[in-house]
Amino acid sequence: MPKFDANLSMLFNEVDFLDRFEAAAKAGFIGVEYLFPYAYPKEQIVEKLQKNNLVQVLHNLPAGNWEQGERGIACLPDRVDEFQEGVGKAIEYATALGCKQVNCLVGYAPQGVSPQQLKDTVVGNVKFAAGELKKAGIRLLIEPCNTRDMPGFFVNRTAQALEIIDLAGSDNVFVQYDVYHAQVMEGDLANTIEKNLAHIAHIQIADNPGRHEPGTGEINYGFLFEHLDRIGYSGWIGCEYKPAGITERGLGWRTAICGK
């Protein structure tokens, strides 16, 4: 049986963010993830986690000005200092929340900068972050995102993420494999996951098209979940989809697909 966590940035958005922890627990989730914790005092989130017996599975490094459309700064050569400061902030929060892994969104490729310079910047930032996080017992993840929903996102394929991991030369960097993004960009899901299983520390799911619940689109999640069990994937699977309606009404996919 897969170990699912609820992405509170997308699920239970019918209620205020801090109320989503209780909603997730009542819906049967034992873990949660979300984009960022930084708008709230650490102690406030810790209280929500403890009260609802939830594991903090994942959150992202600071990713620039999200409200203004930024989706990460790790590839931006002129913002390395800001990135490094964000690593420190992420460690503070992750340590307080008991979160053992954080994700790096690399961001959009800016105009007028060569691809090699962008790659070098990402590699340097990843190497720095991996080292600092390792000291705190926290893994660093890097996530490819599709360029249909996020045009210009610099790391958009599994092979790119793996190359950056190799160039960074750290044993503390892993792939966050988002099935939806991967299906849009490259397909071949089962084979890619199996071939690179040692480098994949976290999986996220949504169906395609629409990025709604599993079972609403073309991805055979019944097969994929059985495949993950068969190849020995033991990490969390984050439910990072846009509910087609009220979140609770759409959770029947877990029984329909997994039988539990």
Tens of pLDDT along 181-200?
Answer: 999 999 999 999 999 999 99
- Residue for token pair 């699977």: 237
Q: What is the pLDDT of residue 2?
A: 77
Do β-strands 173-178 and 139-142 pair in parallel, antiparallel, or remain unpaired?
parallel
Are 25 and 52 within 8 A, CB to CB? yes
Q: Going from the N-terminus, what domains does the chain have, and what CATH number goes with each?
A: 57-242 (3.20.20.150)
Determine phi and psi for 44, rounding to 5 degrees. Answer: -70, -40
Tokens describing residue 79: 């913002």
Do β-strands 31-33 and 3-7 pair in parallel, antiparallel, or remain unpaired?
parallel
Burial 89-120 (b: 16+ CB within 10 A, else e): ebbebbebbebbbbbbbbbbbeeeeeeeebbe
The residues annotated with a catalytic role in the active site are 143, 240
| Residue range 27-51, pLDDT digits in tens | 999 999 999 999 999 999 999 999 9
pTM of the predicted structure, to 2 decimals: 0.96
Confidence of residue 252 (pLDDT cuts 50, 70, 90): very high
Q: Average model confidence (pLDDT) for the chain?
A: 97
Tokens describing residue 127: 């190497």
Q: What is the pLDDT of residue 170?
A: 97
Q: What is the pLDDT of residue 115?
A: 96
d(Cα 95, Cα 167) in Å, to the nearest integer?
A: 27
